[in-house]
Amino acid sequence: MRFDTIAGFSLFLCLTTAHLQQPHHAHHQPTQQHMNRRERFFHDIGVALSGVWPPRTRSQRKMVKRGGVMSKNQCILRTPNNLIQDSPSTSPANGTSTSSHGSSTKKGGSTSTSTSTSTTKSSTSTGKGSSPTTTTTTAASTPSSAYKKKFDASGDDFFDNWTFWSLEDPTHGTVQYTTQQDAQNSNLIDIDNDGNAIMRVDTTAQISGGRKSVRIHSAQTFNGGLWVMDALHAPTGCGTWPAFWTHGPNWPADGEIDIFEGVNENGNNQMTLHTAPGCTVLPDSGGTGKLLGSVCGAAETGNAGCGILDNNANSYGAGYNSNKGGVHAMLWDDEGVSIWFFPRGSIPKDLSSEAPQPDSWGQPSAHFPSSTCSAYGFNRDHTTIFDTTFCGDWAGAAWGAAPTQGGPSCAEKTGVATCQEYVQTHGADFSEAYWTVKSVKIYQTS
């Protein structure tokens, strides 16, 4: 076949290539569109053979994108007015589409995501090609924790994790501990609308014996681990003696760890160990609290043990409750026993996310190092306990003493001679003698 002009020959090759690249389907029947395409093809061949360009305005034509794949060939047509280039548009791996006729960038393409890193690539056309820019964003994530949750008392099932102690109070309090059924019938226990556990005391105006209260023991025992108790409110007021603590089956040989404890109208939490003889703690033990006694043996101290007073004024009592409590954490490991208090609003994020990182918490309020009191040598098989008693060996004995933050004693404030008399005749005064506990969680590393 002969052509009178080079332009005609070039046009013929270009159009032939474009026509042959159209998709073909074995069972596709001819349509009017296909017939029109065939007629235009033979018409354009005739034009090419004649060497005469028809007097018409030619608009820019782009290669057709089919099935998301652009043609890889280029066809350049020289016309009287301009040079039209139907160039392939690149489809980078991220879905960015660029055109040589003006800069056009389609963002939001493919995103590669790993556990903690999201990487997005995007290209911006410059007309001569462009280099992809890689932006890497590392998502905020909680570091993994070596501590695995072994015990969880929270929500509607909170009381399923405990047994109710209904025996005589070993600390000689003016109290009557109830069974679970009696506690329910007397409205002493409840789960509020937010899923918090409530433990109250009886507020009957006058009683002849002990005032009804609740003491619960965890169904599981532990040797070492991390205890985390989150409370919004704890009992307070003259005559009260609440505690959250752990102890072994044989007291004091298997030890006792008081995590949260106080009496009457004290304003500072007291953390104490009660052990067999031989356990001591030194003033420079590493905690921030005030050491009250260095000998922990119960027999050697009249059962007082070695106490450390928290310096935080909101760690116990009215200040604690007005601040909506906080989180108490006790770590029992090879290094000893450490106790922290985190007021509401200052709770570490790793505790809220159940991925505790004790090494990041700073100095504890109390630290009883194994160097002078072996944590595992003096503590074994501990159960976890909540209780609220009245008077007894501590609150009763301290009836005439000033509270930790100073001020009048309960004897001076109430005008009642003894703690027992007050507890039996002033039931309405115990409206603040209740626990509101969000959760108790115990973690171990194995």
> Is the pLDDT reported for residue 223 higher than 80?
yes
Residue 23: predicted pLDDT: 45
> Is the pLDDT reported for residue 357 higher than 60?
yes
Q: How confident is the model at residue 144 (pLDDT cuts 50, 70, 90)?
A: confident
CA 260-224-258 angle, 5° bins: 15
CA atoms of 109 and 121, how far apart (whole Å): 8
> Is the pLDDT reported for residue 99 higher than 90?
no
Q: How confident is the model at residue 139 (pLDDT cuts 50, 70, 90)?
A: very low
Residues 269 and 257: beta-carbon distance below 8 Å:
no
Give the position of tokens 């008081």: 258
What Å distances lie between residue 24 and 17, 32, 44, 65, CA to CA?
Answer: 14, 15, 21, 15
Q: Residues 146-166, buried b or exposed e (16+ Cβ, 10 A)?
A: ebeeebbbbeeebbebbebbe
Residue 37: predicted pLDDT: 55
Nearest to 388 by CA among 95, 100, 174, 88: 174
> Is the pLDDT reported for residue 171 higher than 50?
yes
Residue 446: predicted pLDDT: 85
Catalytic residue among 39, 168, 261, 265: 261
Q: What is the mean pLDDT of residues 364-374?
A: 98
Look at 104-113, 160-169, 282-291 and tell me which has the smallest mean pLDDT: 104-113
Look at 72-86, 163-177, 205-219, 287-301 and tell me which has the smallest mean pLDDT: 72-86
Look at 30-44, 141-155, 247-261, 393-407 and tell me which has the smallest mean pLDDT: 30-44
> Is the pLDDT reported for residue 133 higher than 50?
no
> Is the pLDDT reported for residue 125 higher than 90?
no
What does residue 430 show for φ and ψ, rounded to 5 degrees?
A: -105, 30
Give the position of tokens 């004995």: 397
Residue 49: predicted pLDDT: 52
CA atoms of 217 and 400, how far apart (whole Å): 31
Q: What is the mean pLDDT of residues 46-72?
A: 42
Residue 154: predicted pLDDT: 98
Catalytic residue among 256, 265, 412, 432: 256
Q: What is the mean pLDDT of residues 259-282?
A: 98
All structural domains of the chain with their residue ranges: 1-22+35-54+71-90, 148-444
Q: Give the three-class secondary structure for 96.
A: coil
Written as one string, the DSSP assignment of 33-83 is HHHHHHHHHHHHHHHHHHT---S-PPPP--PPPBTTB-----EEEE-SS-E
Give the position of tokens 């030619």: 58
Residue 339, both tokens: 């106790």
CA atoms of 63 and 75, how far apart (whole Å): 9
User: 256 an active-site residue?
Assistant: yes
> Is the pLDDT reported for residue 126 higher than 50?
no
> Is the pLDDT reported for residue 381 higher than 60?
yes
User: 421 an active-site residue?
Assistant: no
Residue 45: predicted pLDDT: 56
> Is the pLDDT reported for residue 75 higher than 50?
no
Residue 43: predicted pLDDT: 54
Residue 42: predicted pLDDT: 54
> Is the pLDDT reported for residue 418 higher than 90?
yes
Q: What is the mean pLDDT of residues 181-195?
A: 98
Q: What is the mean pLDDT of residues 192-204?
A: 99
Look at 13-27, 155-169, 305-319, 358-372 and tell me which has the smallest mean pLDDT: 13-27
Nearest to 304 by CA among 285, 286, 281, 326: 281
Could you tell me which CATH number the domain at 148-444 has?
2.60.120.200
